[in-house]
Amino acid sequence: MAACASDGVELQGAAVPAITSLDEFVFGVAPRPVRCGRGVEIGAGKVIPEINFTLPPIDINRDNWPEIRRQYTEMITGVTQRAVDLGVEDLLVEFETLPPMTVHPEWGAEITSLLAEHLQNAFEKHGLRSALRLTPNDTRDHVRPPRMRGGYYWDGMVELFHAAARAGADLIAIESTGGKEISDEGLMSADLRTMVFALGVLAPRDMRFLWTEIVAACREGQIVPSGDTACGFANTAMVLADKRMIPTVFAAVVRVASVPRGLVAYESGAIGPSKDCAYEGPYIKAITGVPISMEGRTAAGA
C-alpha cells in the first residue's frame, strides 16, 4: 500500500519557500519526498520515469469492454516488460481515465485493478518497484452550465475517488476545471482581469471543495493524494499562443497566474508528485517542497 496522506503543506502567513537556492533546485530531489506503492520513493535522490497511455479511437461501452481490457492488458504488459529489459528499478504508471470510465466509476475501477495486478506481478517476479497513479476525469462540465458541487457527474467522481484504493491505485490526481468557463472567455479575448478572476477566485474556491473530498478519500484508503494541474487553463493558453490566436506574453502571464490555484491542493492535503502536464510544477516544488512530475522533451504532450 502507498504511504498515508499527510496534513498538507502549511502556507499561511509570511511563508518561506521550501527551496531558497538554485543549488537545491535539483531533478529527483525534493525536501518532502513521497513514498508509495511497491517501495517507490519519489524525490529521494533519483529521477523516476513515469508513463501514461490511453486507448486508440474506440467506443467505450459494454459491447467493446473485452477489447478494451485486452488493449490495456497489452499496454501494461509491454510497459513492464520493457522496463525490466532496460533495468529500470522504479516506475510510476499513470492511468488517466477516459470520460465514460469516470461517468461509470465501476469501469474506471476495473481497469485500475487490472493495471495494479500486472504491476504487482512484475514486482513479485522481477523486483520492479512501481506505483499506480489514478487520474479520474473532471466530468462536472458535461452538463451546461456545470454543476460543480452536486449532481450525477459529481457523484460518479466521488465514487471513483473512494474506490481507488480498493482497486489498487497508489495515488490519486486530477485535472480539475473549476472556473474554466470564465477562463475560456478571458483567454479568447485576452482579458487579464477576467483571467485573474477565474484563476485567482473561482478556481481556488473549487480546488478547496474538490481537494477536501479527494484527500478524505485518500486518507480513508491510505493512499497518496498527489496533485492537480492547470492543464485546462494555462496549457490551453499555451496552445492558443502557439497558433497565434492570443499573444504569447499573455499566455506566459496566465502560466504564472495558474500557480495559486495549484497551491490550494497542497494546502488541502495533497503531498505530490504533481501531474506531468502541470507546467506550474517548478513553482509548486519551490514553494511547497513536494516532488513534481514533468513532461520531457520527447513526451507526446510536450
Contact criterion met (CB below 8 Å) for 288 and 9? yes
Residue 230 backbone phi and psi in degrees, to 5: -90, 30
Conformation bin of residue 131: beta by default, left when phi > 0, alpha when psi is -120 to 50:
beta
Domain for residue 9, yes or no?
A: no
**Domain boundaries, position 153:** 28-288
Closest CA to 79 of 97, 94, 60: 94
Tell me how crowded residue 177 is: count the other CB atoms within 10 A of its CB.
23
Distances in Å between the Cα of 56 and the Cα atoms of 52, 181, 196 are 13, 28, 37
Q: In tens digits, what is the pLDDT along the chain, a chain of 302 residues?
A: 444 444 566 655 557 899 999 999 999 999 999 999 999 999 999 999 999 999 999 999 999 999 999 999 999 999 999 999 999 999 999 999 999 999 999 999 999 999 999 999 999 999 999 999 999 999 999 999 999 999 999 999 999 999 999 999 999 999 999 999 999 999 999 999 999 999 999 999 999 999 999 999 999 999 999 999 999 999 999 999 999 999 999 999 999 999 999 999 999 999 999 999 998 999 999 999 999 999 876 555 54
Q: Which three cell numbers stand for residue 121?
A: 506481478
Tell me the HSE value of 34 on the side-chain side, using a 13 A CA sphere. Answer: 35
Domain for residue 15, yes or no?
A: no
Domain for residue 11, yes or no?
A: no
Domain for residue 250, yes or no?
A: yes
43 vs 38: CA distance, rounded Å? 15
Identity of residue 272: G
Q: Would you call 62 exposed, middle or buried from its count of C-beta atoms within 10 A (0-12, 13-18, 19+)?
A: exposed
| Cis? peptide before 273, omega within 30° of 0 | yes
Place of cell 528499478: 89
* Domains held by the chain: number: 1
**Cα 29 vs. chain centroid, distance in angstroms?**
19
Domain for residue 254, yes or no?
A: yes
Q: Would you call 57 exposed, middle or buried from its count of C-beta atoms within 10 A (0-12, 13-18, 19+)?
A: exposed
Q: Which three cell numbers stand for residue 249?
A: 506574453
Domain for residue 129, yes or no?
A: yes
Domain for residue 231, yes or no?
A: yes
Question: SS3 of 92, please?
Answer: strand
73 vs 86: CA distance, rounded Å? 20
Domain for residue 23, yes or no?
A: no
Distances in Å between the Cα of 263 and the Cα atoms of 74, 201, 226, 273, 282 are 37, 13, 12, 13, 12
pLDDT at 16: 87
Q: Where are the alpha helices (DSSP H) in the chain?
A: 65-86, 99-103, 105-126, 152-167, 180-188, 192-197, 203-221, 236-242, 248-257, 259-267, 281-288
